[in-house]
Amino acid sequence: MTTTLPIELERSSPVPLYFQVAQAFEKAILDGHLKPGDRFENELALAKRLNLSRPTTRRAIQELVDKGMLVRKRGVGTQVVQAPVHRPVELTSLFDDLARAGQEPATKVLDYAIGPASDEIATHLNLPAGSDVLMVRRLRSSGGQPLALMTNHLPAALAPDQDELEAAGLYQALRSRGVHIRLARQRIGAKAADREEARLLDEKPKAPLLVMSRTAFDDSGRIVEYGNHAYRASRYFFETTLVDR
Amino acid sequence: MTTTLPIELERSSPVPLYFQVAQAFEKAILDGHLKPGDRFENELALAKRLNLSRPTTRRAIQELVDKGMLVRKRGVGTQVVQAPVHRPVELTSLFDDLARAGQEPATKVLDYAIGPASDEIATHLNLPAGSDVLMVRRLRSSGGQPLALMTNHLPAALAPDQDELEAAGLYQALRSRGVHIRLARQRIGAKAADREEARLLDEKPKAPLLVMSRTAFDDSGRIVEYGNHAYRASRYFFETTLVDR
DNA sequence: TAGTGGTCTAGACCACACA
DNA sequence: GTGTGGTCTAGACCACTAC
């Protein structure tokens, strides 16, 4: 069955039309007005109904396909994916994730030191050996329980204050300094906790930890941050959605 | 500096023009002909040079932005990201990953049983309780060493033969049955190995394992597979690239 | 002010799936 | 055959950045 959804467009809004359309459909899916397996209106009909050009309409639909909420099949049509949808992984910090989940994260800065980079760190940050970098180690907790141990390295020029790092996430602190993170590459693995990690995270030595190392880039393609995070396996996981295009 | 790259287009090819362009640039970046930090030709100039329309040119560039190889900044331009590029995570199986890496994976089917689904599995597969499903448990090894223990559940109608599962990956077996996986949602975490996992994976009990549970959808949005995989932490990790759009 | 990317239009033709 | 999505054109106007 093809459901038609009433959509109001605000043509004078700075929000792109394709985005308004995509959001309206996303909301309809999340609210259950469009059900899993429902056939979607075809592009031409939708474009006509909304008084939009086909490319604009198409882009709106593609947005949701990329998010893993719709699937399209050439010659057949577009359908809503058959499963309750979670939020896709976004380029936000753990701090943001938790704040959104209402878990009230707290951060304690354990180490904060600026000095010449080791060869390894300089390589990861793509800086000349010996450049000044900030190393910060933080313990993130939520609900009174330790959650993650985070070690990050940044070019000294971008170093946020220690206060900022306790009050907000690293990315938020960078944003307020005009640094916009556009890209992150992550490597996710597992390891056994060493003695210090165990102590700080309130786990036993050799307890399984979920580890993530991340390199973040700004909108000029420069490396802004390199970090190693260790999460308590009992309290954290990553979600990813992969789309074949 | 703006580098101009000679690109040959095959207009009669079934390969889309935007894809040909994207591939040419991707190759140039991977081969080092375009270096990290290099300014990219702007869209209009590139379109004119290649005798393409701007949308087509733009789509080619966007393709590489989505892959995390380029970053664009409004009013400024497009640049090559400042770091060696790995392959992005794709919708392939571990089997494919290893075969590509030349590690000669081998698979042993430990269990293969078709029967009524438990409530939990039925829910994960979005099937009526008690529907017939295949449960298959496999041990994946490479280089003579165990690597992953994989438990998968599929609707019985899609069940590949046991032979197929030993010879190829699950996804490849499904593909040869006309099932095209278009979407996968993954949850990645860590856990301690239980006694049986430890035995099969040649690890000690309580050794850290990287675990992934995955739900896969076909091009009609139906759930095709639900699986739980456990990887030896010492031998596997996941890579993800996140792009802010 | 000049140059860049971001959005949008109104069409066109093609490839594929299905009845 | 009919209907669907996939690709492509040749423009247009706007928003933002840097000088």
pLDDT in tens, A210-229: 999 999 999 889 999 999 99
Reported pTM: 0.88
- Give the residue carrying structure tokens 């949701």: A64
- Give the residue carrying structure tokens 């979407």: B183
Q: What is the torsion angle, in degrees rounded to the nearest 10, for the CA atoms of residue A177, residue A180, residue A185 and residue A187?
A: 40
pLDDT range class, residue A234, cuts 50, 70, 90: confident
pLDDT range class, residue B4, cuts 50, 70, 90: confident
CA of A19 to C1' of C3 (A): 26
Identify which of B80, B32, B187, B237 has the alpha carbon closest to the alpha carbon of residue A183: B80
Residue B207 vs residue A141, higher pLDDT: B207
Of the given ranges (A48-57, B161-170, B203-212), which has the lowest mean pLDDT? B161-170
Identify which of B221, B123, B127 has the alpha carbon closest to the alpha carbon of residue A37: B221
Residue range B45-71: average pLDDT?
92
The DSSP element (H or E) to which B116 belongs, if any, is strand B105-116
> Which nucleotides in chain C have some atom under 7 angstroms from a protein Cβ?
2-12, 15-18
Domain ranges within chain B, ordered by starting residue? 17-80, 94-232
The answer to whether residue B165 scores a pLDDT higher than 80 is yes
- Residues A56-59: contacts with CB under 8 Å, at least 24 apart: A56/A17, A56/A18, A56/A21, A57/A18, A57/A21, A59/A18
Answer whether B71 sits within 8 Å of A217, measured CB to CB. yes
The answer to whether residue A168 scores a pLDDT higher than 60 is yes
Residue range A133-159: average pLDDT?
92
Q: Which of A55, A182, A223 comes nearest B83 by C-beta?
A: A223
CA of A18 to C1' of C14 (A): 25
Residue range B156-185: average pLDDT?
88
Cα A236 from Cα A212, distance rounded (Å) = 11
pLDDT range class, residue A151, cuts 50, 70, 90: very high
Q: Which of B73, B189, B210 comes nearest A219 by C-beta?
A: B73
CA of A127 to C1' of C15 (A): 49
pLDDT range class, residue B1, cuts 50, 70, 90: very low
Cα B221 from Cα B155, distance rounded (Å) = 14
CA distance B17 to chain A (A): 16
Residue range A94-104: average pLDDT?
60
The answer to whether residue B91 scores a pLDDT higher than 50 is no
Q: Could you tell me where the DSSP H helices lie in B101-227?
A: 119-125, 162-167, 170-175, 195-201
CA distance B243 to chain A (A): 5
The answer to whether residue A85 scores a pLDDT higher than 80 is no
The answer to whether residue B172 scores a pLDDT higher than 60 is yes
CA distance B21 to chain A (A): 16
Identify which of A212, A215, A188 has the alpha carbon closest to the alpha carbon of residue B238: A188
- Mean pLDDT (chain B, rounded): 88
pLDDT range class, residue B95, cuts 50, 70, 90: low
Write out chain A residues lying below 8 Å of B220, CB-based.
71, 73, 76, 79
Cα A244 from Cα B96, distance rounded (Å) = 15
Residues 6+ apart with CB under 8 A from A88: A67, A68, A239, A241
The answer to whether residue B153 scores a pLDDT higher than 90 is yes
A8 close to B (CB below 8 A): no
Fold observed for domain B94-232: Chorismate lyase (3.40.1410)
Write out chain B residues lying below 8 Å of A89, CB-based.
240, 242
**Percent of chain A clearing pLDDT 90 (strictly above):** 56
Burial of B95 (0-12, 13-18, 19+ CB in 10 A): buried
A190 close to B (CB below 8 A): yes
Of the given ranges (A96-110, A133-147, B174-188), which has the lowest mean pLDDT? A96-110
Residue range A110-123: average pLDDT?
95
CA A123, A117, A213, A233 dihedral sign is positive
A42 touches strand C (CB under 7 A): no
**Percent of chain A clearing pLDDT 70 (strictly above):** 90
Domain spanning B17-80 has what CATH number?
A: 1.10.10.10
- Residues A62-69: contacts with CB under 8 Å, at least 24 apart: A63/A18, A63/A19, A63/A22, A64/A22, A64/A25, A64/A26, A64/A29, A65/A243, A66/A243, A66/A245, A67/A26, A67/A241, A68/A241, A68/A243, A68/B183, A68/B185, A69/A26, A69/A29
The answer to whether residue B52 scores a pLDDT higher than 70 is yes
**pLDDT value at residue A91:** 47
**pLDDT value at residue A97:** 61
**pLDDT value at residue B222:** 92
> E strands of A82-222, at which residues?
105-116, 132-142, 145-155, 181-192, 208-218
CA A53, A56, A59, A60 dihedral sign is negative
CA of B46 to C1' of D13 (A): 21
The answer to whether residue B182 scores a pLDDT higher than 80 is yes
**pLDDT value at residue B2:** 52
Residue range A185-202: average pLDDT?
95
